[in-house]
Chains A and B, each alone.
Chain A
Amino acid sequence: MDRNSRINWINRLILPALNVLSAFTATAIIFILIDVDPIEATQILLYGAFGYQEGFGYTLYYATNFIFTGLAVAVAFHAGLFNIGGEGQAYIGGLGTAIVILLLDPNTSPWIFIPGSIIGGLLFGALWALIPAYLQAYRGSHIVITTIMFNFLASSLMVYLLVNVLRETGQMQPESQLFSENSWLPFIHNIVAKFGFSLEESPLNVSIFIALLFSLLIWIFIWHTRWGYAIRATGLNSTAAIYAGIKPKRIIILSMCISGSLAGLVGINELVGYQHRLIMDFHFGYGFGGIAVALMGRNHPIGIIIAALLFGVLYQGGAELAFELSNISRDIVVVMQALIILFCGALQYMYSPWIIRTFAPIEKEDS
């Protein structure tokens, strides 16, 4: 094996693995610090996530959200943009979904409700990303700062709408009315039951297939279309992209709209799939989680699905952990997210010089 292919292997496999391992090790150290046996914790966590049907259902249900936001962050990354606004886009996307459902007649057929609600999520998510994208492309504002601001704006807007506009009359809770049953996405346990099998009830619904479908579409889009090519070219070398006749401004708009629309689908899983009404903060944490998922999954749909599953495991297993042990809460998952973002993102090249020196030294005759 020559040096270049060795370096390719190191960059593709060894470094990412080492980075994830570092994040896990750091988490283990934290467990020890708070007097929890990391091995016992892992056992509980895995049991919670995989040990019984309901738990596994929850795991996949959470993973669905992470696939959407992970893809969202990844598409923007390919264009060289950091979409830190997944939180806001997911929130507003949910609003779009809810508006479509609440505006349609409750007796409308599911075959109109479901695509309609998906389109609502896509459009509103895209819209919430379009404004920062426009401001970056044509007014020169930094997209990271604008999308952060837009997260807060989304939050204020939603509180206002839920409290003052969408709240069901006579209810104290800032929630919308219940969605028409025709709009609900079927639960997996219900579908399976139709075929004569039985599964424990869980929030897992057909959204997971929508998520997988979008993973496939994004894979095709990024690596097998000229638009994906243009996005990647711009992200990797914008000078070369301009030379090629690609218009960076359009790429910013295009990639951010796709990114935002993907984030906007969180509401499909959460609201149409499970809650069946628009509620406060249903999106919370998934937008930032998507950053960790995309970084860990190396911006590739396959990697993102795997990373999303891991985060689903952590979310669900974390709940089990909090339930079983009194001195720990689900926030340990948040900590792990942070560590993964740190090691797989900010510190991703920490081991690189060392590994390359050890396993792919510069050969003497290379001069």
Chain B
Amino acid sequence: MEESKYAIELVDIDKRFGPVYANNKVCLKVETGSVHGIIGENGAGKSTLMSILYGFYKADSGNIKVFGNKLQFNDSHQAIKSGIGMVHQHFMLVDNFTVIENVILGSEGGSLLHEGLKSARDELTRLGKEYGLKVDLDATIESLSVGSQQRVEILKALYKGAKILILDEPTGVLTPQETQDLFRIFTALKKEGVTIILITHKLHEIISITDNVSVMRGGKMVAHRQTSKTNREDLAELMVGRKVLLQVSKDEKIRGEVLLKVSNLSVRDSNNIDRLNDISFEIHAGEIVGIAGVSGNGQSTLLKVLSGITPVSSGTIEILGHKMDADNLIYPDQLRELGLAHVPEDRQRMGLIGNFTASETSIIGYHNDKRINDKLILNNSKVRENCKNLMSDFDVRPGNPDLRSDNFSGGNQQKLIVAREFERDPKILLIGQPTRGVDIGAIEFIHKRIIALRDSGRAVLLVSVELEEIMSISDRIVVLCDGQVSGRIDSKDADEKTLGMMMANVFSKEDNLEALSG
């Protein structure tokens, strides 16, 4: 095959899920042998685009050229054949298979396994040496660390002859050490002429490892840049599409008594892995504490344990004078009665029930409330009336309490949930990713409401992956890394760089500084 300048050319790719455009007239050119970054916020359409390139989804329209040849992908098989390999964000591995079984799946080399396994072993040993991909071929996947599982995914792609390697958010689950290893592997691959496409929302990765970068926003490709000719600020602005967040005005406020106190809290999951490790902090009345961190570093667990969903493994939580520890469980409904409200991170799966009407969704967590129950009977008309009021208070559109919850847009669903949790004037509010996938108008609205709650002397715990959001709303910031507190800072002293270093836990591990310096 003659060397083509571009490994990948995508022209006018369209893809809709129902009425929503995930990709809208997307174009992309990736130079052969380069590391090409694709950056964008959550939901910008990066993963969908790559899934199309990998033949996993079928584009509604548009053209794909690989090494200059126009191709029509119906399934991943054809993509693999034309030299594309993909490392998905969630690994596509069979947990109870060995490494080698996983690698040969789909390219067994004959109907009997014996021969295929033998030749695969030789080939994998060679690949492993060449690119520094060390992994025990006979270990089962479930016994491997996340970093090793990712190496298996890369091996798998290379074994299938990938000349173009797509990696979807590969560092999201890695430790800084593992990230460094991964980038070293990239360098080795690049030297051998492999083209790498890196999908990420982390700016420093783009700057430190890529040659070119494309920015996606809202399903569209908004810019292509040469990495050496751009910078983080420029990219961030392109990604967000607005001059960062409007600074929310808020008054200095005197803190009141401690409403929520967390002491030496640890949570272990069913695999005995520490999700939270020895966390301590407190929140006073009239204060917003922001929890910052790279997604997946214990924030979700923190919300779940504070709201009574996940049990405490050790340590204590004191909520409004009530003690919660490994022996004393307080269930979410009891916590609500005490005056704790919780806007969950994942509104689709936790915050609402798609099949319920808006009015039914408006009492999730409060269905035992005496105000809506007449002894045995749940007073549906009162619930409905109440929901109607909430909808007009919080500007939920359309204001129809009988409409099914999943017929509302994301922003309106979020407003409905916020309305529900704010309604009973909680003493403590836990709020996770309050503005994810919400339009700007609604963001401002929700922010104002949170601040109003604080001003009325309530305690708020805000979890968000948006640093601007954390910095502009919180009074104090606690940073989580790998389930531990890796930094505490007053928000008036915080800037993105300091927080970024805290998030990577640089201050406690000097040797990791270089991983971050880009």
Q: Do chains A and B touch in the complex (CB under 8 A)?
A: yes
List CB contacts (< 8 Å) of A202-255 with chain B.
220, 223-226, 228-230, 232-233, 236-237, 239-240, 242-247
**Contact residues in A for B404 (Cβ distance below 8 Å):** 4, 8
Q: Considering the chains assembled together, what is the distance between the CA atoms of A367 and B45 in angstroms?
A: 14
- Asked if B19 and A226 make an inter-chain contact with CB atoms under 8 angstroms apart, the answer reads no
A362 located at the interface, meaning its Cβ lies under 8 Å from any Cβ of chain B in the complex? yes
Q: Find out whether the CB atom of A244 lies under 8 angstroms from the CB atom of B352.
A: no
With contacts A242-B309, A243-B344 taken as known, whether A367 is within 8 angstroms of B24 at the C-beta atoms is yes
Is A366 an interface position by the 8 A CB rule? yes
| B332 within 8 Å of A (CB atoms) | yes
CB of A359, distance to nearest CB on chain B (Å): 16
Docked-complex contact A245 and B332, CB < 8 angstroms? yes
* Complex-state Cα separation, A3 to B407, whole angstroms: 10
Task: Say whether B350 contacts A236, CB under 8 Å.
Answer: no
Determine whether B307 belongs to the interface, using a CB cutoff of 8 Å to chain A. Answer: yes
Distance (Å) between the CB of B372 and the closest chain A CB? 8
Contacts of A239 on B, CB cut-off 8 Å? Answer: 346, 349-350
Q: Measured between alpha carbons, how far is A219 from B364 in the docked complex, in Å?
A: 20
Residue with the greatest number of chain A CB neighbours at <10 A, chosen from B344, B346, B350: B350
Interface size on B, residues (CB 8 A): 40
| Contacts known (A243-B344, A247-B331); A229 close to B367, Cβ less than 8 A | yes
CA distance A362 to B17 in the complex (A): 11
How many of chain A's residues have a CB under 8 angstroms from any CB in B?
27
Contact status A245-B407, CB under 8 Å: no
Give a binary string over A1-31; 1 marks a CB under 8 Å from any B CB, 0 the rest.
0011000100000000000000000000000
The answer to whether residues A240 and B364 also contact, given A245-B336, A247-B331, A366-B19 and a CB cut-off of 8 A, is yes
Provide the bound-state CA to CA distance between A236 and B373, in Å: 22
Binding site secondary structure of chain A:
helix
CA distance A366 to B16 in the complex (A): 11
Set of chain A residues within 8 Å of B367, measured between Cβ atoms: 226, 229-230, 233, 244
> In the bound complex, how far is the Cα of B369 from the Cα of A115, in angstroms?
34
- Complex CA–CA separation, A3 to B403 (angstroms): 13
Nearest chain A CB to B195's CB is how many angstroms away?
32
Q: Which residues from B are CB-within-8-Å of A232?
A: 356
Question: What distance in Å separates the Cβ of A43 from its nearest Cβ neighbour in chain B?
Answer: 41
- State whether A244 and B19 are in contact (beta carbons under 8 Å apart), knowing that A225-B377, A233-B356, A237-B354 are contacts in the complex: no
B365 touches A243 (CB 8 A): yes
Is A237 a contact of B353 with CB atoms below 8 Å? yes
Interface residue B355 (Cβ < 8 Å from any Cβ of A): yes
Instruction: Assess whether B21 is interfacial by the CB under 8 Å rule.
Output: yes
Min C-beta distance of A247 to chain B, whole Å:
7
Using a CB–CB cutoff of 8 Å, the interface residues on chain B facing chain A are 16, 18-21, 24, 307-309, 331-336, 342, 344, 346, 349-356, 360, 363-365, 367-368, 373, 376-378, 380, 403-404, 407
A–B Cβ pairs within 8 angstroms, 6 of them: A224-B378, A233-B356, A236-B355, A243-B332, A243-B344, A362-B16
A residues with CB within 8 A of B? 3-4, 8, 220, 223-226, 228-230, 232-233, 236-237, 239-240, 242-247, 362-363, 366-367
